[in-house]
Amino acid sequence: MNYMFTHLAIDLGASGGRHVVRIIKNNLSKYIEVFRFENYTDLTDGHLTWDIHRIWENIKNGIIIACKKYPDIKTIGIDTWGVDYVLMNGEKEILPVYAYRDNRTSLGCEIVSKKISENELYLKTGCQFQPFNTIYQLLTDKLFGRLTIATDFLMLPEYFFWKLTGVKLHEYTNATTTGLVNAKKESYDLNIISKLDLPTHLFKKLTKPGHIEPLSDEMEKELGVYADVVLVATHDTASAVEGIDIPMNALYLSSGTWSLLGVKLPDPMLDLEARKLNFTNEGGVGYIRFQKNIMGLWIIQQLKSELHISSFEEMTDMAKISEYRETFNVDDDSLLSPKSMKKAIMALLILNKKKKPTSDNELINSVFHSLALSYKKTIDEIELLTQRVYDSICVFGGGAKNEYLNSLIHIYSKKNVFAFPVEASAIGNIKIQETAVKKER
């Protein structure tokens, strides 16, 4: 039948993971999801944590299923969200593994601000301030003595790469979410690390996407698979931007649990006006992703659960019949991990003297309009900073499937909206695998 099955992408998000295979048949390419699993945080001693052993079992199960169905898979790549990591003591994990939504870092943030000014930090790293950035998490770990026995720290995709290959590497694109990478030198900034008195042995040389390692002998036996593992752009948004053919200096919106709205630039933008507007410079494959992190569909996801609504499609239909247009700041800290998303939104609207929604329809419509307004404001800021006017925006990720939200983005921003309702991270993941294999040949 002239099939050729070559590459497997494991794309892990905060709410779920998926294994995607690229099939080539008669010179036509097709992407097929072969396994999907739910991902979620646990509550451990009052803190939000990741069960990395449960995630690992799902990753392995997906590989076995994929390779049984498509035995000609030659390479595997894995991407995840940024910021979070696993501390290691030799070959043993230091548990728990905290989740970025856990609000444990207030003291870490305070210590960093006393030792390094926000301006100095931004001029070196170009990293947007978020209280859950790795830099603040690590300082918090230091305060509680968790670094005293740590021999390594591995970002989540680096940890799973090690589990597959037995090799510990530090990958560039995900490292740029830590707040510890020098944006110009593209390496961990040892001056910052020294000022914060963090153990320097934790911060190894960064490896760019495309590096290949074989599966370890142990994994080959356990999985029954003979394949190489490619270090892809392990930050999921970095892979997603590779998955969509976005030209340099073009706007993009990765619309998912988080919204990441930005533009591809050849060099980092490190001026203090960009810091003031809270933009970040994150690594791409040969370019910088100059972008802002916006709370995104997390708000919708939480409301869906809280209001016991059966589907996102139903939520969209509810919003469409509402005339309610009041908006709120989707990036307010109170929305990061509230006990009740509905009450948190209501409180923001009341605080800002907005008319209260009288139904769930109005509440949901307020979220969609607030997201679109936030995107419009961010686009205005990008145009101010880059001194360019953009006529369109490429939207990809799960949110790109929402035609109603896309229409609101067009209405608010006055930009042409091109939607790519595909799993862009998996596509970019596989694209990098293919490129790496071709170079090795």
pLDDT in tens, 293-343: 998 999 999 999 999 999 999 999 999 999 999 999 999 999 988 999 999
SS (H, E, C) 318-355: HHHCCCCCCCCCCCCHHHCCCCCHHHHHHHHHHHCCCC
Q: Is the pLDDT of residue 3 over 80?
A: no
In this structure, the answer to whether residues 203 and 288 fall within a common structural domain is no
Q: With 60 as the cut, is the pLDDT of residue 1 above it? A: no
* Rounded-to-integer distance, Cα 404 and Cα 391, Å: 20
Q: How many domains does the chain have?
A: 2
pLDDT of residue 256: 87
CA–CA separation, 374 and 104 (whole Å)? 27
Do 20 and 169 lie in one domain? The reply is: yes
Claim to verify: residue 339 and residue 432 sit in the same structural domain: no
Q: Which domain holds residue 175?
A: 3-236+426-440
Beta carbons within 8 Å of 138's beta carbon, 6+ residues apart: 108, 147, 153, 180, 198
**Which amino acid, residue 141?**
D
Q: Name the nearest CA neighbour of 332 among 375, 363, 299, 372.
A: 299
Residues 247 and 283 sit within 8 Å (Cβ to Cβ): no
Going by pLDDT thresholds of 50, 70 and 90, the confidence category of residue 356 is very high
Same domain as 342, residue 205: no
Judge whether 245 counts as a catalytic residue: no
∠ CA 97-255-188 to the nearest 5 degrees? 45
| Mean pLDDT of the region 148-152 | 97
pLDDT of residue 423: 83
List C-alpha distances in Å: 141 to 137, 138, 169, 303, 333.
Answer: 6, 5, 21, 32, 22
Q: Six-digit token pair at 333?
A: 């800290």
Quick one: which of 433, 21, 429 has its CA closest to 213?
433
Q: Are residues 123 and 211 in the same domain?
A: yes
- Average pLDDT rounded to a whole number, residues 208-214: 97
Same domain, 431 and 415: no
Question: What would the pLDDT profile of 262-287 be if each residue is shown by its tens digit?
Answer: 999 999 999 999 999 999 999 999 99
Check whether 248 has a pLDDT greater than 90: no
Same domain, residue pair 38 and 112: yes
Q: Note the pLDDT of residue 421.
A: 74
CA 129, CA 276: separation in Å to the nearest integer?
10
* Contacts with 126 (C-beta within 8 Å, 6 or more apart), sequence order: 183, 268, 269, 270, 274, 280, 281, 288
> What is the per-residue pLDDT across 81-125, written as a single tens digit (0 to 9) for each?
999 999 999 999 999 999 999 999 999 999 999 999 999 999 999
Considering the candidates 79, 84, 236, 331, report the single residue annotated as catalytic. 236
| Res. 4 pLDDT band, cuts 50 70 90 | low
Burial class (CB in 10 A: 0-12, 13-18, 19+), 437: middle
Q: Are residues 52 and 116 in the same domain?
A: yes
One domain, residues 171 and 314: no
Q: Which residue has the higher pLDDT, 441 or 13?
A: 13
In this structure, the answer to whether residues 226 and 359 fall within a common structural domain is no
Same domain, 209 and 62: yes
- Do 44 and 25 lie in one domain? The reply is yes
Would you place residue 28 in the very low, low, confident or very high pLDDT band (cuts 50, 70, 90)? confident
Q: What is the CATH number of the domain that holds 269?
A: 3.30.420.40
The pLDDT, as a whole number, for residue 272 is 93
Q: Pairing state of beta strands 152-155 and 187-188?
A: unpaired
Supply the pTM of this predicted model. 0.90
Quote the radius of gyration of the chain (alpha carbons, Å). 21
pLDDT at position 25: 74
Backbone angles phi, psi at 437, to 5 degrees: -65, -40
